[in-house]
Chains A and B, each alone.
Chain A
Amino acid sequence: MRPAPPDTAAGAVAAEPPAGLLTWVAGADHKVTSLRTAGAALIFFVLSGAIALVMRSELAQPGLQVVSDGTYNELFTLHGSGMIYLVITPLALALGAYFVPLQVGAPEIAWARLALSGFWIYVLGGATMFAGFLTDQGSGRNGWAPTYPLSGDHWTPGIGMDMWVLGTSMAVIGMFLLGVCVLATALRERTPGMTLLRMPPFTWSMVATCLMVVTSFPVLIGAMGLLEWDRHVSPVFDAAGGPALFQHLFWFYGHPVVYVMFFPFVGAVAEIVATFSRRRFFGYSLFVVSMLLFAALSMSVWAHHMFTTGQVENRYYSLTSHALIVPAGIEYFDLIATMVGGAILFRTPMLFAIGFILQFLIGGLTGIVVASPPIDYHVHDSFFVVGHFHYTLFAGSMFGFFAAAYYWFPKETGVRLREGLGKAHFWLLVVGTNVTFFPMFFLGFDGMQRRIADYPSSSGFGDLNLLSTIGAFLIAVAVAIFLVNLWVSLRNRDPGGDDPWEGQTLEWATSSPPPRFNFRGLPAITSFAPLLDRREGAARRKGEVAA
């Protein structure tokens, strides 16, 4: 063992943090900040998920049975906004805030106070967004991706919409601050010996993620500021080309944020696949390059969301959108090649990782479909698109999140989640996810529009919608099993030890949960998988002694 970095060995910093309310409100430890963010995101997940169930109940059969058109507009707005601004993005960045400092051997996240303020600004933004429901004219009702002039004061008056705009801005500012801290940690807080090309795949995925955060999130903050200015001070977007400009500003954030929501889970899945295949991750250098290329390309495809406006250069955006296949293919190749020849253990984290790989593929392949302008003209604003992005963000990102949750829960808490409940959660979620979202491709291709509360009974959409609603309730049961698993596992603790999975990266070299400043000593860092190096070295020495 190498000695710990001087500050982690200091007596003052080895002290345990004071427990209690103050720690939960104002604790500057990155682990507390991360868990707070993840906890808040899970609360917003339950709220936004409950909204989805109401929407699916409304759509189960033709006619208006549950909510009015206006209320439905508010519901799909808060469902989408909640999941994107308040759930998946924060979960992805919270994962980075917890594990990037550990994986690079840092005692703390860079600019811990900034990360702490980021959490509070985010959570207050989320509360503001949802509080719009309590206003006279209701909450925001333009979807998670508002268009102008619909989002202007004339068509959507009322303070509820303002609260949505401001709440969104705050949530994005909060996550921007957290992203800046994670990126700075990876780039400048690494322990000696942890060179950039020894950072684990997950940390690299966070670097790529946070590069997109620092370059795209400020644009949305600016766009929302201008929208609010337009609503209350003087028109900004109502000149010729103004609505298109607003869409450009929005989608310059709106497309990269999709990658912000799944890159960290690609990185997490890479770690999980390597650990449970008992192999070193295959093609590390190429994976790193492909991540950075993927992130750069993702910044250049935003206007494919505007193919049908006739105001963008479709050829360029179609070209760059199709080019995304190259880095995505490299990553898939690396993930599969890591498994080939491995001694695969099908534990719950690995099941979710495989679920991520297979289902995200459906999201990716249907992405190629909508990247072609001629087909996009047919399926634009239809349920096909809804199916596509739910395969990306739910069947992909949330499966990646659950994989990460089962994998790293023992590190965060010192206890394992129940394997039986985990497998029930997985299989029910697989069935629920596919029953919910796969019919949407057929519905969309046959012409069912998105963002509608009703459809004619003569359309023939009823059966597939009913199926989709049944699937949504299966998902709810699966999520309930996960929450029960959290509760049961924390109540009746099954200690996981410091390294229950034989992990390969530095977080497994410290106690579970890690101490305040993370490490009391660090092993030699010889590659991106230092613990695997140590085990292989020990096995070699044992073999030599035996020989």
Chain B
Amino acid sequence: MIRPIVVLAGWGAMLTVLALVLLLFSPPQYEWALLAGAALGLAAFGVLLLVPASRPDDAPRPMPETSLPTVIVAWGLAIVVLGIAAGPWLLALGAEVVALGLFGLIREVRAQRKERQR
């Protein structure tokens, strides 16, 4: 049986081979670094896969129907990004919205965990 990590490793190996072939043509360093970097980026994703699955087969998982704090965090991040163009006042406002959303998110996750323990 093929494991997910094999898919990532196999695909990363394909990128590595292509980067090595590119090296034969003596390109500027950043060209092959982009390809090789992509292969390395996969490793980061592979680490995420190693985190234990959130859905263990033997335990029910109460999941939220809605998550308003997540939406607030997303809006806050968007405001922060817009603040880059509009000025520090919007950056600060966005940061406050993100903080508010994160606070709600922590509460939501804790409530979810408590329900799971029950």
Contact = CB atoms under 8 A, between A and B. Distances in A.
Interface of A: 5-7, 10, 12-13, 17-18, 22-23, 25-29, 106-108, 110-113, 116-121, 124-125, 128, 159, 162-163, 166, 169-170, 180, 183-184, 187-189, 192, 195-197, 207, 211, 214-216, 218-219, 228, 232, 241, 245, 248-249, 252, 292-293, 295-297, 299-300, 302-303, 312-313, 315-316, 320, 516-517
Nearest to A116: B70
A116 B55 contact: no
Contacts of B77: 117, 121
Given A7-B55, A228-B84, A296 B15 contact: yes
A142 to B, nearest CB: 16
Contacts of A516: 65
B55 A215 contact: no
B73 to A, nearest CB: 6
A124 B55 contact: no
B78 A13 contact: no
A10 B18 contact: no
Interface residues of B, number: 57
Contacts of A118: 74
A6 B70 CA distance: 27
Contact of B65 (A18, A117, A166): A18
B89 interface: no
Contacts of B73: 117
A215 B25 contact: no
Given A121-B77, A218-B41, A116 B67 contact: yes
Most chain B CB atoms below 10 A, which of A107, A116, A128: A116
A490 B89 CA distance: 45
B7 A187 contact: yes
Contacts of A293: 14
A215 B12 CA distance: 10
B71 A313 contact: no
Nearest to A10: B60
Contacts of B27: 312-313, 316
Contacts of A195: 1-2
A166 B85 contact: yes
B81 interface: yes
30 contacts: A6-B58, A12-B60, A22-B68, A23-B66, A26-B66, A28-B63, A106-B55, A107-B55, A111-B54, A113-B64, A117-B71, A120-B71, A124-B78, A159-B85, A180-B45, A187-B49, A188-B4, A188-B49, A211-B11, A215-B38, A245-B30, A248-B34, A292-B10, A295-B11, A296-B11, A300-B19, A302-B34, A315-B25, A316-B22, A517-B63
Given A214-B41, A219-B34, A300-B22, A26 B71 contact: yes
B15 A299 contact: yes
Interface in B3-57: 3-4, 7-8, 10-11, 14-15, 18-19, 21-22, 25-28, 30-31, 34-35, 38-39, 41-42, 45, 48-49, 53-55, 57
A192 B64 contact: no
A162 B11 contact: no
Contacts of A316: 21-22, 25, 27
A218 B85 CA distance: 20
Nearest to B3: A196
A537 B16 CA distance: 44
A125 B78 contact: yes
A112 B63 contact: yes
A178 B70 CA distance: 14
A299 B13 CA distance: 13
B7 A196 contact: yes
Contacts of B18: 296-297, 299-300, 320
A187 B4 contact: yes
Interface in B60-106: 60-68, 70-71, 73-75, 77-78, 81-82, 84-86, 105
